[in-house]
């Protein structure tokens, strides 16, 4: 996590994630004005050296601070168990927006989306779904084949079909080329830049100043954001038609999309400020609702159900999100002790963990593992909890099993590497490095993987590789000066002509385009 929520020069994230390189927008003066709002902030604390001490250093709390309750406060604020919150600039934080990454949730959404993307003639690997940490009900497409879904929508949706319906509608916008406003300019931008720009532009308009990075988010932001994302009514009807066709071709009922639109229908007479963002950017008409109702009523798939496994996965996804985004008291009211379902116990385990109640959390996690010994996510949660409570060595076994059961999921491998580093056992550093290399082979822009690799290479005595890894990390987190410094160090230490040496040259050129660096 980054600055403004749990991370600063003294409080890094516990499970940091990729921070993309910030693109430069030159196509519109409006984007230039918004640029201060999209400057990257370091994902983790920047240390003078490469050595990161024990877990308390990583979570930004010393033993003295823990004695005064700081550690418990941080634990309640920072969500874990493969839920990675990627924080955005201050204007985005004013909106409470950040990205969530979680292997289990991402896999669930992938299962929802794949048949729809295929029906639309899209390569599922070419469309990326991003989870936005925002309680409001919203989903939107930006930057080409990038689909953003708010946690509020996932929590509100009672069935997988409702989420699938929204996905199908948004896929209709992708397939129809309904690029709103400046989407063409954002097509090649990173997801985090897109989200920053959307909120940053709105904040800049609202504040009436170019310094949107520090602008207050005023009431006028809703208007700016709505205009940025808005589709015409014709485009909305077209996306509805395409969406129901995609659902039908995929063998999925359109009832979910109909139900979702019906939940929004009652908001049309509300003031804009009281409407869900989805309705503000996706104009709803009586004709649209009637079309969906008629189509569903006459469809042979109107009462069709998806695979029962998806209903269970949906319930677990909602339980997980709810427990990680709400206070323990709210979670225990929503998922009381009388709820003995796996989802209910899952939510309570997370709630107890976030409230620093290790024993009841571990009791529930062990129960879940006993019932589903092949479930990688329960093992992952156990490892994360143990790591968080300073039991890094104990965390490695469940995390190794989670990696095995998940077929090497990158985010879980990253967590295992973290635990191996924190274990203090130098003999496992090669294993940690192997896992990080596996992560980077799939997610090369994962800043945390580079940070951990820098630590490992330094401990193994590979100074050139350590400097290069630190340069990669700094570049990804937007610190061009640090990236240049470490790349120069790597240039001096690596064997000339090698691929790693060449990469150091690339970073130097990228951070020093005018060639001012003097290495002689």
User: What's the mean pLDDT when you consider all of the chain?
Assistant: 76
pLDDT of residue 25: 33
The neighbour count for residue 366, using CB atoms within 10 Å, is 13
pLDDT of residue 18: 34
What value, to the nearest 5°, has the Cα angle with vertex 189 and ends 185 and 191? 125
Bin 53: left if φ > 0, else alpha if -120 < ψ < 50, else beta. beta
Give CA separation, 159 vs 102, 104, 139, 241, 316, in Å.
Answer: 20, 17, 16, 21, 12
pLDDT of residue 19: 34
Query: What share of the chain has pLDDT > 90, as a percent?
Result: 57
CA distance 57 to 10: 9
pLDDT of residue 405: 99
pTM over 0.85: no
CA distance 16 to 6: 11
Domains defined for the chain, CATH in brackets: 94-297 (3.30.2010.10), 425-520 (1.25.40)
pLDDT of residue 149: 94
Closest CA relative to residue 361, chosen from 101, 80, 163: 80
> In sequence order, what are the beta bridge partners of 147?
129, 141
Closest CA relative to residue 245, chosen from 306, 194, 134, 171: 171
pLDDT of residue 93: 31
Compute mean pLDDT per 10 residues along the chain, 520 residues long, and list them: 30 34 34 35 32 28 40 40 36 53 96 97 92 89 85 96 96 78 50 54 38 33 45 77 97 95 64 50 68 95 96 98 97 98 99 98 99 98 98 98 98 98 97 98 95 98 98 96 97 97 97 68
């Amino acid at each position: 996590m980054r600055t403004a929520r749990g991370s600063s020069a003294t409080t890094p994230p516990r499970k940091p994630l990729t921070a993309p390189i910030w693109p430069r927008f030159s196509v519109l003066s409006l984007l230039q004005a918004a640029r201060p709002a999209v400057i990257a902030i370091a994902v983790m604390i920047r240390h003078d050296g490469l050595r990161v001490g024990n877990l308390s250093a990583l979570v930004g709390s010393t033993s003295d601070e823990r004695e005064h309750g700081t550690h418990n406060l941080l634990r309640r604020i920072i969500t874990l168990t493969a839920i990675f919150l990627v924080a955005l600039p201050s204007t985005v934080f004013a909106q409470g927006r950040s990205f969530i990454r979680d292997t289990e949730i991402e896999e669930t959404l992938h299962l929802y989306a794949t048949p729809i993307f295929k029906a639309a003639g899209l390569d599922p690997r070419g469309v990326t779904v991003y989870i936005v940490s925002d309680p409001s009900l919203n989903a939107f497409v930006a930057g080409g084949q990038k689909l953003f879904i708010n946690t509020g929508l996932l929590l509100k949706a009672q069935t997988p079909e409702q989420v699938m319906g929204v996905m199908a509608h948004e896929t209709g916008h992708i397939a129809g080329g309904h690029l709103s406003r400046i989407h063409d300019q954002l097509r090649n931008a990173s997801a985090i830049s897109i989200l920053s720009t959307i909120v940053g532009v709105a904040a800049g308009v609202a504040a009436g100043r170019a310094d949107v990075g520090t602008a207050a988010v005023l009431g006028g932001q809703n208007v700016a954001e709505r205009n940025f994302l808005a589709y015409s009514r014709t485009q909305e009807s077209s996306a509805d038609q395409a969406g129901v066709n995609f659902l039908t071709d995929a063998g999925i009922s359109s009832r979910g999309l109909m139900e979702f639109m019906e939940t929004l229908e009652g908001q049309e007479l509300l003031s804009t400020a009281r409407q869900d963002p989805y309705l503000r950017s996706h104009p709803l008409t009586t004709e649209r609702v009637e079309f969906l109702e008629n189509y569903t009523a006459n469809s042979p798939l109107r009462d069709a159900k998806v695979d029962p496994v998806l209903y269970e996965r949906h319930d677990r996804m909602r339980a997980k999100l709810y427990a990680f985004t709400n206070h323990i008291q709210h979670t225990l009211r929503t998922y009381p002790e009388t709820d003995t379902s796996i989802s209910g116990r899952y939510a309570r385990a997370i709630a107890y963990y976030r409230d620093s109640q290790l024993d009841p959390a571990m009791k529930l996690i062990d129960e879940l593992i006993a019932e589903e010994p092949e479930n990688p996510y329960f093992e992952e949660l156990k490892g994360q909890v143990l790591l968080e409570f300073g039991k890094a060595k104990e965390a490695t076994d469940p995390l190794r099993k989670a990696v095995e059961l998940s077929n090497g999921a990158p985010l879980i491998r990253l967590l295992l590497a973290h635990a191996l580093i924190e274990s203090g056992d130098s003999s496992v550093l090669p294993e940690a490095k192997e896992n990080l290399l596996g992560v980077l082979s799939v997610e090369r822009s994962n800043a945390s993987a580079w940070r951990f690799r820098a630590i490992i290479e330094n401990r193994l005595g590979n100074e050139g590789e350590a400097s290069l890894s630190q340069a990669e990390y700094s570049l990804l987190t937007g610190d061009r000066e640090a990236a240049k410094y470490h790349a120069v160090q790597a240039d001096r230490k690596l064997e000339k002509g090698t691929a790693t040496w060449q990469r150091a040259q690339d970073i130097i050129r990228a951070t020093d385009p005018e060639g001012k660096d003097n290495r002689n």
